[in-house]
Amino acid sequence: MTLSAQVCLGSDRLIASDRLAGQRVGLVCNPASVDLEFQHIADRLGSRADTSLVTLFGPQHGFHAVVQDNMVETGHSRHARHDVPVYSLYSDTREPTPEMLEGLDVIVIDLQDVGTRVYTYIYTMANCLRAARRHGLSVIVCDRPNPIGGAAVEGPMLHEGFESFIGQCAIPLRHGMTIGELAQLFNTHFEIGADLEVVPMAGWARSMYADQTGLPWIIPSPNLPTLDSAIVYPGGVLFEGTNISEGRGTTLPFELIGAPWVNADALCQTLSAEEIQGVLFRPVQFEPTFQKHADHVCGGCQIHVRDRQTFTPVRAAVAVMQAMRRQASSSFEWRDPPYEYEAVKVPIDILSGSESLRNQIETDLGATEIAESWVPEVEAFERIRRGFLRYE
């Protein structure tokens, strides 16, 4: 693999400008909000004489990303070095309150998205846009690379009536956009209407994965430790809507998939016959240390991506899910609510975007046919997203 020329981040370009001179800033960030030299944006802004860093905001898992499990709220605190409040936007509120925004001129957002519709950071951003519009503040989004590239788009769309905190806008599961492009899509096409400025990157191309940017990999959240985990995540996250372990509580979350009742060898023989491009399914046994099936040995597979250009993570995950259900239909179950602040809707439905995937799997439709059903809506979305793409 050949590394590209070094990518210049939106945060680099913002700090090199005088755009924040005289401004009182509220900064939305987490530990991945660093530059090429591992300098955190809070420290870079906090050291500027012409800018006042007034408030920090953290997304899911917390400002310091110390909360390992999902769906665990974090509290508010105070930053020891900068002596400013740190407000959690994954707490009793997912949107900044008027009290949190008091004394600010601008909200700066520098978060690392991972290219998947259900990743909550993009809705923390959307909620900040809504709050800023109501309170007359401007928003600056510092663009960052989509770590799994900006070319491929795949998976089911979010349908009306299935909105939640993990899905606010009608986009596919793998959206193929940067967080800055999504900000403009949300703000314009989905009519949030905030005073928004996106600071673009320089040197990034849509074909690039994270390891081709020259930038360091800092885990965006505790269960995406590597680029490999991020590549499989658009499909692997669907297992959160089942009683199958998605590998949380192991060192390979979203790459290890299994349950105590799965015959690993039989599973992988079935998956090999599917002839899904770019991937090998290796039979494994693993024992999660927390969450589903903690301290129980699970049979299943490790998803080894051999060609990420041809690999289709959502289709691959559906094939695994269907094969596991067929192997032991009496043991396979859909997860019950509540899930991510949704107490009524079925978790797999808000993850996939509608009840369609659940119905397709229950009627034993094959993974290829299921993937083909996504194509018309994905093509329609691609026509919309074309107007918001900033990079070649």
pLDDT for 223-244, tens place per residue?
999 999 999 999 999 999 999 9
Mean pLDDT of the region 371-380: 98
pLDDT for 303-330, tens place per residue?
999 999 999 999 999 999 999 999 999 9
**Predicted confidence (pLDDT) at residue 172 exceeds the cutoff of 80:** yes
Structure tokens at 221: 């959240």
Residue 178 φ/ψ, nearest 5 degrees: -85, 165
Structure tokens at 26: 């509220």
Environment class of residue 336 by beta-carbon count within 10 Å: exposed (0-12), middle (13-18) or buried (19+)?
exposed
C-beta of residue 8 within 8 angstroms of C-beta of residue 203: yes
367-385 and 313-327 are packed helices; what angle lies between their axes, rounded to 10 degrees?
150
pLDDT for 135-167, tens place per residue?
999 999 999 999 999 999 999 999 999 999 999
The position carrying tokens 């229950």 is 362
Q: Which domains does the chain have, with CATH numbers?
A: 10-218 (3.40.50.12170), 227-373 (3.90.1150.140)
Q: How many residues are given for the chain?
A: 392
Nearest to 141 by CA among 18, 22, 44, 10: 10
pLDDT band at 5 (very low <50, low <70, confident <90, very high): low
**Predicted confidence (pLDDT) at residue 113 exceeds the cutoff of 60:** yes
284 CA to centre of own chain? 26
Percent of the chain with pLDDT over 90: 96
pLDDT for 252-275, tens place per residue?
999 999 999 999 999 999 999 999
Mean pLDDT of the region 353-376: 98
Mean pLDDT of the region 334-353: 97
